[in-house]
Structure 1
Amino acid sequence: MKTTWPELSYAEAHKTYETIHLWTQIVGKIRLVKTPWINHSWHVTLYVTPSGLTTSDIVAGDKHFQLDFDFINHQLQLKTSTGDTSSIDLKKLSVAGCYKQVLDALREAGIQADIYPVPNELEDPIPFHKDETHATYKPEHAVALHQAFLRVHDIFTRFRAEFSGKSSPVHFFWGSFDLAVSRFSGRDAPRHPGGVPNLPDWIAQEAYSKEVCSCGFWPGSEAYPTAAFYSYIYPEPEGYKDARIKPAQAYYHPELREFILPYDAVQEADDPDSVLLDFLRSTYEAAADLARWDRKALEQENFDNQRKANRSAYKQVDKDA
């Protein structure tokens, strides 16, 4: 059955996206300062939920807490292991207001979180506590973006299941505002040059310390003002940019050094899921083959047919009984 993917327009929704991006940076930085460092900065990411995005469980002394963006009820919610709850209305909320209210809510629950109050990975950022500029939140744009995240999360999860080597979760990076999943060869990579705006070079160097093939989705930015999927490998092997990739709408972006598939090519397709899987699989296969990854050792058998056969066997046993 064909899944329905929402229409996205960066031109119409970019102010809402920019505000949500900065809100997620505040919440993500709270997770950052409260969580032990995990390789490739996987300890800072957020996760897609049926209603939005979550930090998942965070430890603060004897107390556990979680922060959730709810794009159905349009709230930022705090929950703790001792039963404390609070919510912040996202409508008409500036970045400065979000910064103050979420830290106040944590303090009222007995949780202290001292974060660096400047956004990362952005040019000329405004400190959170001074940012009354970004305060646009149109619920319909947030709802559509969340529905897209849900669809993408499903396909990325299916794609992740085909790999038995080291792989990241499907997770949301609040610095770059993208949903991503990464596969690793297990080999060391050359030292990354760094240079990401407002991000210490050592963080990028640690993140790219191993050979990696990553794919992701972002809703657009000033540099690339349209929603799109991407796929790249680091380090990039010779011939990668000339690889034949599916579907026909995909292309190699020389400045970004990655393959791009416009979101509209998926959203408008007769079978959006298959089109996106074609892109993910073909870019990975080109990358892994050209970089000479040990695909036989790294790729996972598809157990779906075996699982279906087992279910049929159980049904037969029940029938015979």
Structure 2
Amino acid sequence: MELFPPIPFAEWRDTKETLHRFAQIVGKVRLAASARRNHWWNVPFHLTGRGITTRPMGQCDNNPLFTMDFDFVGHRMVIATGDGRTLSFPLVGHSVASFYEAVMASLAALGVRVELAVPRPFDLPDAARPFAEDTEHTAYDAGHAHRYWRVLSQVASVLEDFAAGFSGKVSPVHHFWHTFDIAHTRFSDRHIDQPGQVDPVTREAYSREVISFGFWFGDDSFTAPAFYSYTAPEPAQLAEEPLEPAAAQWAARGDSHLAVLPYDEVRTAADPRAVVLGFYESAYQAGARRAGWDIERLACPGGVTDPYLLSRR
């Protein structure tokens, strides 16, 4: 299987916009039916061998235990309960409105009662339009959807590899349905007091100092897929730090900066995984140095923290 296949934003934009809204519907079910975790870690999707999953949820809200999986091999939405019952329907051929209707009807048929607090898109141009009224977004190209999952899976593997090198508090490698990116985050123990006007999503996500690493597929503001990293809150002179490889750069993002490595620059490299790992490491070193993290103490070479094993390496 080709590593990091081409996935130009313009080529699959229509499918991406439809799929993004499908994901937000299922993600909001996950938000409603799961126990809240620090930094909203209960909400994102995780990767499977065929697509993405909500992981088991329910019970905490008196619903049956259930999961919701996007199958991007068979191109179906699969909803299963803990007692073995399963309902599924095709992803192809749906508008956002009909997908929303099919999801809610399938959940009800399985005895799951979930009410979405805000049944509209989050932070998208049509955020004021209910899912049930969106008959505009209907594109779903199976080839593009399958490639999206392949890229997600390959990036997730690299992020898992990178995650092994840090022994402190970290997030899982997870796929955010609100921003449609995949990310992994390292934390320091520094508490951050957010201003009172900051929204509750941001307040919880950034209640601690972080350095985050990920990949996104492109959007209207940055119309190309790319690997990224940022430090929050951003320390002074962060953008003066060097990045690797030469194609990586600091991109201004309001009052802060994002370390960006274009996906297409990586695809043609002799060892794409090594290039991405080097990029993430350079961005981590930049943020950790400027923020004053104890880099040596937090290191976890090869995923090992046992002093005995480390002494014998």
TM-score for both structures, normalised by structure 1: 0.89
SS at match of 2:278: helix
The one-letter code matched in structure 2 to 1:221 is D
Task: Report deviation, 1:59.
Answer: 1.9
| Match status 1:131 vs 2:137 | no
Task: Report deviation, 1:296.
Answer: 2.3
Matches within 5 A, 1:1-321: 4-60=3-59, 61=62, 63-115=64-116, 116-125=118-127, 126-191=129-194, 201-255=199-253, 257-303=257-303
The one-letter code matched in structure 1 to 2:23 is T
The one-letter code matched in structure 2 to 1:103 is M
Task: Report deviation, 1:215.
Answer: 1.0
Could you tell me which runs of 5 or more consecutive residues in structure 2 were left unpaired when the two chains were aligned. none
The one-letter code matched in structure 1 to 2:225 is A
**Cα contact 2:97–2:134 (8 A) shared by 1:** yes
Q: Distance in 2 between matches of 1:288 and 1:103?
A: 45
Q: Distance in 2 between matches of 1:303 and 1:147?
A: 25
**Cα contact 1:189–1:234 (8 A) shared by 2:** no
The CA RMSD over aligned residues, in Å, is 1.8
Alignment correspondent of 1:318 = none
SS at match of 2:137: coil
**Cα contact 1:194–1:202 (8 A) shared by 2:** no
The one-letter code matched in structure 1 to 2:188 is S
**Cα contact 2:63–2:113 (8 A) shared by 1:** no
Q: Distance in 2 between matches of 1:192 and 1:94?
A: 39
Task: Report deviation, 1:62.
Answer: 6.2
Q: CA deviation digits over 1:109-159, x for unaligned, max 9?
A: 000010021111223422100001111001111111111011100000011
Q: 1:171 to 1:3 in 2, by over 3 A?
A: same
Task: Report deviation, 1:82.
Answer: 1.6
Q: Distance in 2 between matches of 1:3 and 1:192?
A: 46
Alignment correspondent of 1:313 = none
Q: Distance in 2 between matches of 1:247 and 1:227?
A: 17
**Cα contact 2:175–2:183 (8 A) shared by 1:** yes
Residues paired across the two proteins, number:
300
The one-letter code matched in structure 1 to 2:259 is F
Q: Distance in 1 between matches of 2:159 and 2:48?
A: 14
Task: Report deviation, 1:193.
Answer: 7.7
Q: Identical aligned pairs, as a percentage?
A: 38
The one-letter code matched in structure 1 to 2:302 is N
Could you tell me which runs of 5 or more consecutive residues in structure 1 were left unpaired when the two chains were aligned. 196-200, 310-321
Q: Distance in 1 between matches of 2:208 and 2:195?
A: 10
Q: Distance in 2 between matches of 1:112 and 1:165?
A: 38
The one-letter code matched in structure 2 to 1:96 is A
Task: Report deviation, 1:192.
Answer: 5.6
Q: 1:49 to 1:212 in 2, by over 3 A?
A: same
**Cα contact 1:228–1:261 (8 A) shared by 2:** yes
**Cα contact 1:194–1:204 (8 A) shared by 2:** no
The 4+ residue runs of structure 1 with deviation greater than 3 A are 192-195
Q: CA deviation digits over 1:175-214, x for unaligned, max 9?
A: 111100000011112416876xxxxx02211211100000
